């Protein structure tokens, strides 16, 4: 086995046994990137000297690829936007200092949809990322670089962010394990904000154990993010001991299965995942999430509203690209933003500004907040009956470049991930099979209640153990 094929647990144990050092790992990843990433395009930048220096300073550490919206001191942080091309971060995000304290180092910056808006990484303003399982297909998004790097064995593990599905859907498309933590479980300090009431950082990995190790490193209270409570962080890896489906109550939400766009192959794989859970001793319970049909509309009011506020700071004065064609202050703002932002980001800013404008605020934003509460209550109610929900992660497997060219079709790909994001609960994507026709990976989603990551990971591990496919390894 090559060093770049290792997961986190294997890398930590190899280092502990003295079989190799952190520097060896970083060198192996650099070689692999140089030979294989030309086609895949997972990395936007990779400061080899920086990664090698950190590895020499911390010889027992494991390198992790970082989505290009998480700040690492001295490194670019472009959010895959021309707006931030050339920006170098002066500080580490809390997740980066947490990783370093736990024996990991940041190595390489991976591609994404611009400002995390998208589901295919086609909205990146800085590069194309291809699915390592089929180069004619997208890797998913917005954490497409993070998923392609793990799925293509271009890293040991990566960090992504998830606002409405951006860890889980690319994990499903690239055969990785992905975990979206509960809102508030992981600090957002130093993570460029998209929609602040939804954003969470989480791991994309080659196994559930690896995700548990990284979750332990990432999670916890941060005085610089007031949404992170002082709740203690369990030892998620130790909690996986004896993970089993026996007696686990798995909820199947009926609203998730009579969906028009659900691909028959994804349905087949999800149905067989449910059957496998049942055969392994789980109890399958039908539940209802009655407000599911409103989730998409609610998300596409709340997320753009928050984005329009968060992105106001990129004005060519305080941050970001500054137009050279400006003649006065007003045209400096207009031209800098027109030149710096790509089309999807502009669309979100316009939608967000509209729903917040006076006269429309109550009708759109105010109402969306109320329906969001109803969606959250659906989940609270379901979790009085079941331990976890199981659903498809996305209605399709990885699609071809350009296939979903109208924005609405693209938005609908997040049908299964958006409701749990609005509810603030935790969810994972775990590899479950390959489509018979296109031979593309498909993950299933498990959803647990808020701050129930230990349970989520245990159930995900129990599924991984019975799943017919294993994540990423050996491609
Ligand atoms: N695809 C969704 C969007 O475009 C979710 C993105 C995300 O989770 N960052 O908003």
| Average pLDDT of the segment spanning 198-209 | 98
Q: Which of the listed residues 142, 145, 168, 204 should we mutate to test ligand 1's pocket, taking the one with most ligand atoms within 8 A of CB?
A: 142
| Average pLDDT of the segment spanning 278-300 | 98
Strand order in the sheet with 426-434: 43-45, 104-110, 62-67, 158-162, 200-205, 177-180, 426-434, 441-448, 388-392, 249-253, 283-287
| Average pLDDT of the segment spanning 325-335 | 96
pLDDT digit string (tens) for 252-278?
A: 999 999 888 999 999 999 999 999 999
Residue 28 within a domain = yes
251, pLDDT greater than 90: yes
Which residues sit opposite 388 in a β-bridge?
A: 250
pLDDT digit string (tens) for 391-439?
A: 999 999 999 999 998 999 999 999 999 999 999 999 999 999 999 999 9
* 113 CA → ligand 1 middle, Å: 9
| Band of residue 318 on the pLDDT scale cut at 50, 70, 90 | confident
Rounded to 5 degrees, φ, ψ at 31 are -60, -45
* C-alpha dist (Å) from residue 94 to 72, 100, 350: 10, 10, 31
Domain that residue 25 falls in: 3-224+234-243
Ligand 1 atom having least distance to the Cα of 299: 10
pLDDT value of position 319: 80
Residues serving a catalytic function are 67, 142, 166
How many domains does the chain contain in total? 1
- Pocket (CB within 6 angstroms of ligand 1): 116-119, 142, 162-166, 194, 303, 414
pLDDT value of position 260: 86
pLDDT value of position 352: 98
pLDDT value of position 473: 53
pLDDT digit string (tens) for 30-42?
A: 999 999 999 999 9
Residue 96 within a domain = yes
Q: Give the percent of the chain with pLDDT over 70.
A: 99
* 299 CA → ligand 1 middle, Å: 9
Is the model more confident about 470 or about 26?
A: 26
pTM comes to 0.98
Ligand 1 atom having least distance to the Cα of 118: 4
Give the CATH number of the domain where residue 177 resides: 3.90.1300.10
pLDDT value of position 474: 39
Residue 443 within a domain = no
Helix residue spans in 188-310 (DSSP H): 208-218, 236-239, 264-279, 292-310
Residue 350 within a domain = no
3-class DSSP state for residue 372? helix
pLDDT value of position 320: 87
Q: What token pair was written down for 62?
A: 């494991």
Residue 411 within a domain = no
Residue 89 within a domain = yes
**Three-state SS letters, 48-68:** HHHHHHHHHHCCCCEEEEEEC
CA 403 to chain CA mean position, Å: 22
pLDDT value of position 155: 98
Residue 372 within a domain = no
| Average pLDDT of the segment spanning 246-250 | 98
Burial grade of 285 (CB within 10 A; 0-12, 13-18, 19 or more): middle
Q: Which helix (H) or strand (E) holds 40?
A: helix 22-40
In whole angstroms, what is the distance from residue 15 CA to residue 149 CA?
A: 21
pLDDT value of position 475: 36
| Average pLDDT of the segment spanning 165-173 | 98
**Average pLDDT of the chain?**
97
Residue 254 within a domain = no
pLDDT digit string (tens) for 2-24?
A: 999 999 999 999 999 999 999 99
| Average pLDDT of the segment spanning 201-220 | 98
Query: For ligand 1, atom 10, which residue shows the shortest CA distance?
Result: 117
Q: What does the buried/exposed string (b/e) look like for 207-222 if buried means 16 or more CB atoms within 10 Å of the residue's CB?
A: bbbbbbbbbbbbbbeb
What is the pairing mode between strands 158-162 and 177-180?
unpaired
pLDDT value of position 258: 84
* 179 CA → ligand 1 middle, Å: 15
pLDDT value of position 455: 98
pLDDT value of position 471: 80
């Amino acid at each position: 086995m090559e060093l770049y094929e290792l997961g986190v647990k294997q890398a930590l144990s190899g280092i502990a046994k003295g079989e190799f050092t952190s520097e060896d790992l970083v060198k192996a990843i650099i070689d692999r990137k140089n030979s294989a990433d030309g086609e895949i395009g997972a990395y936007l930048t990779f400061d080899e000297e920086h990664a090698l220096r950190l590895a020499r300073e911390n010889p027992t550490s494991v390198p992790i690829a970082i989505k290009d919206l998480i700040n690492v001191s001295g490194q670019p942080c472009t959010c895959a936007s021309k707006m931030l091309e050339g920006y170098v971060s002066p500080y580490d995000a809390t997740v980066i200092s947490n990783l370093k304290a736990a024996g990991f180092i940041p190595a390489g910056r991976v591609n994404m949809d611009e400002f995390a808006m998208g589901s295919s990484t086609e909205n990146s303003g800085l590069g194309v990322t291809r699915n390592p399982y089929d180069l004619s297909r997208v890797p998913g998004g917005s954490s497409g670089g993070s998923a392609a790097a793990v799925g293509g064995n271009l890293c040991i593990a990566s960090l992504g962010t998830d606002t409405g599905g951006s860890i889980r859907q690319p994990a499903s498309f690239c055969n990785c394990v992905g975990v979206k933590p509960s809102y508030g479980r992981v600090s957002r300090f130093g993570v460029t904000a998209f929609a602040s009431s939804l954003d969470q950082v989480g791991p994309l990995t080659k196994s559930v154990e690896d995700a548990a190790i990284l979750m332990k490193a990432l999670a916890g209270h941060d005085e610089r993010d007031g949404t992170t409570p002082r709740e203690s962080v369990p030892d998620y890896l130790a909690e996986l001991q004896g993970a089993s489906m026996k007696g686990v109550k798995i909820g199947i939400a009926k609203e998730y299965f009579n969906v028009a766009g659900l691909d028959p192959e994804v349905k087949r794989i999800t149905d067989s995942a449910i059957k496998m859970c049942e055969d392994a001793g789980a109890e399958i319970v039908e539940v209802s999430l009655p407000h599911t049909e409103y989730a998409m509309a609610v998300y596409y009011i709340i997320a753009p509203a928050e984005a329009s506020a968060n992105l106001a700071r990129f004005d060519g004065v305080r941050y970001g690209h500054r137009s050279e064609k400006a003649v006065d202050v007003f045209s400096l703002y207009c031209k800098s933003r027109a030149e710096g932002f790509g089309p999807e980001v502009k669309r979100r800013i316009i939608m967000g500004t509209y729903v917040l404008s006076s006269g429309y605020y109550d009708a759109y934003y105010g109402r969306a907040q109320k329906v969001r509460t109803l969606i959250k209550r659906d989940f609270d109610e379901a979790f009085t009956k079941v331990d976890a929900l199981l659903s498809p992660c996305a209605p399709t497997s990885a699609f071809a470049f350009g296939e979903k060219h109208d924005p609405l079709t693209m938005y609908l790909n997040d049908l299964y991930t958006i409701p749990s994001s609005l509810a603030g609960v935790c969810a994972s994507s775990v590899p479950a099979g390959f489509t018979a026709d296109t031979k593309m990976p498909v993950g299933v989603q498990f959803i647990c209640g808020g701050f129930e990551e230990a349970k989520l990971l245990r159930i995900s591990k129990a599924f991984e153990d019975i799943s017919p496919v294993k994540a990423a390894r050996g491609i």
